[in-house]
Each structure stands twice: as structure tokens, then as C-alpha cells.
Amino acid sequence: PFWLTGGLDLTLSLFESTSGWTTTGLSIVDVARTSSLLLFFRSLLQFAGGAGLAILMLSALAGPAGTGLSSAEGRAEQLVPQVRRSARLVLSIYLGYALAGGSALWLVGMEWFDAVNHAFTALSTGGFSTRAGSIGAWGNGGVEAVVVVLMLLGNLNFLIAYALWRGHFRPVLRNAELQLLAVTLPLAAGMLFFAVTAGTSPTPVWTAVFEATSALTTTGFATVDYGHWPDFGWLVIIVLMVIGGGTGSTAGGLKQFRIAALVLGVIEELRRLLLPRQAVTSPAIWIGEERRFLTDAQLRPISLFFFLYLGSLVAGTLVLCAHGYPLGQSLFEFASALGTVGLSCGITAVDAPATVLWTEMLGMFFGRLEFLVLFTGIARLLLDLPPLFKPG
């Protein structure tokens, strides 16, 4: 549709579609000149992309980061029925959020069309907007407050929402992702307030909270222009984009579970240095409603993913730097693409070099679909294809 009716060439059309499906939100579309139908199509892409990946992650993931629905209920279950149950769970919660969010945005001052679009893109932590100025175009505190709630709901692991619906509050409060969120978000907002927004915004505290929430949940909505921010503010936003949202949610990034697991692993390793050699200990972490103990074998793939993610971040940043962009801008822009965030410092544009756009597309693709899953799938494909072509 972007190619046939939007007036974009093939590369730009693929870029916008990839950004939509991966719920990234980096955009080269001129929303002021784009039809309402195409704007709604963009929002629908993000809504479907967010729900689709959440269903697959809740259904099929295994290992230390496994968040399968049956695992949360302490049962083993076949993949196909689990997909069906996970789909019903995600869609029922997702559609309920969307209905409530769209209605709330309409009540606080948005037109129905804008309200529906932003409910879709906030819940999917995608960040596409119907206005060039994103959420800041409304200048409405009520709109921003509703959007913050929707972004946090989109960031929430659907298993946590499921546990809340079942009335299981105790394991939710113990959840490592929520504990990390409760520490990271106020800390980052505080740093942004004291170092950036104080004295530069009519509502400095709220601006800091909104921008920190948008970056950590990998949504990408903005109420201010980052171009005039000091380097410290950019660094805070970059760190939040790298951390990302909850596992089994619509958000991207490294994922809060992995960060929490690595922090617990480091603490446990320091404890082992003080304990007798015969002592056997493992850090405990809550996933959904289940308490698990992380072993060294389980922490290994998390560490590997962390290495691959940061290595890809460096490689993508180098590509952008090779095109003449400053290091800070290159790091910010590719961290946004790889984390499927959508915040931009101005590099992503219609006139950007095609190699820059393709590099960002690869970042969105790998960042959204998980490195180990892709590498394992490609390796398995290469191993399985040759026997199919052998004679007899």
C-alpha cells in the first residue's frame, strides 16, 4: 500500500512496513499529506505486529526466559493448543485495553480517529502517530497521561496481566521485571529532570516521566525535540532503549527479564566468592506465577544474547558513522531501530541514504525477532535442506 498508493519507492515502502510490523515507529511518511486510510493501515500494522509476537512468545519460548502460559500454570502442554489459548488470552486482554484506551483518549480531547490510532500504537509500543509532532502536537496533559498508562500496559508481560485478572497479586509484586521497572523508571526520570528538563519545559517533571516511559517501553512517542538536549540526556534515553520492555509483551529491546537475570547472576557470583567452595547456590527469579532458580547453564544463553545485541548495536552504529553522521546521533538512531523504539534524532528521513535505511531495517528485524531464534532457524534450515535434494 505504501508503494502503490503512498507515493513511496520500494525501499521507503519496505522501511515503513518493517517499522510497522516490528512495532518500531521510525517513519519516513509525511503524515500531513498521507490519507487517513493509509495512516490507519500503519497503526493496524503495529497493533497486529505487537499482538502477533506476544502470542508466539507466550506459546513457544523455552529455557530460562520461557514465558509459556502452561509454564505459568505449572502444566505441560502441546504447542498447538497452547497457541490457541495464548491467542485467546492476548487478544482478549489486548482488545480490552484498546477499547478502554481509545475511549479514554476521546474523553480527554482527541478526535475518534486519532484516539483509535494512538490506542493501537501505544498498546503495541509502536509509536506511529497521526501528527508530525507526535503526542506533543496536542499539548494536552490528559492525553499524555492516558498514553503513559497505555505504554506501561503494552510494556507489561501478558502473563502478569493474566495473573492480575486471576487475582494473584503476590507473585506479581515479586516479579523481577516489575521490580526492575519500579527502580529504573523513577531513577531515569529523576536524572532527566535534574540534568535536562528542569528550566527548559513548562512541566519539567512530567516531561521527564513521559520521555523516560516512552524510551523504556520502546514506544517512541515524544513531546519534545531531542535535538537541543545535552549528551547526558541522550545517554539516559539510549540506555533505556537498550534495556527495553517486558518479555512476553509487545515491547522490544534486551528485555527487562534478561537485565534482571544478569544482575542477579552478577550478585550471585560475588556471593560465591565469599562462600565455601562446597556451597551450591542459585539465584531465584519469578516468571509469571512461578518461582525459578537460574543455573549457570540457563544464564549462558542470556549472556550470549546480551553479547550479540551489543555487538549488533556497535556494528550498526559504525555503518551510520561511515555515512558521515556524528557518533552520538548514530548510536541514538541505531539503538532506536534495534530496540524497536522509534525515537529519532533526525537521521531517518526520506532523503537518507538507502544503505542507512536498510541497516536500520535489519536492526528492526533482528531486534524484534530475537537473535538466537533467527540464527538457530537459519542454521537448522541450512542443515535440513541438503538432504531434501539428495537422489533416492
Task: Record the pTM.
Answer: 0.88
Lowest mean pLDDT among 7-11, 74-78, 279-283: 74-78
87 pLDDT above the threshold of 70: yes
Residue 298 phi, psi (nearest 5): -80, -30
For residue 337, give the 3-state DSSP assignment: helix
Rounded mean pLDDT, 205-225: 94
Residue 97 phi, psi (nearest 5): -60, -45
* Residues 367, 373: Cα–Cα separation, whole Å: 11
Each residue of 165-177: pLDDT tens digit?
Answer: 777 787 778 888 8
Nearest CA to 136 out of 244, 191, 214, 238 is that of 214
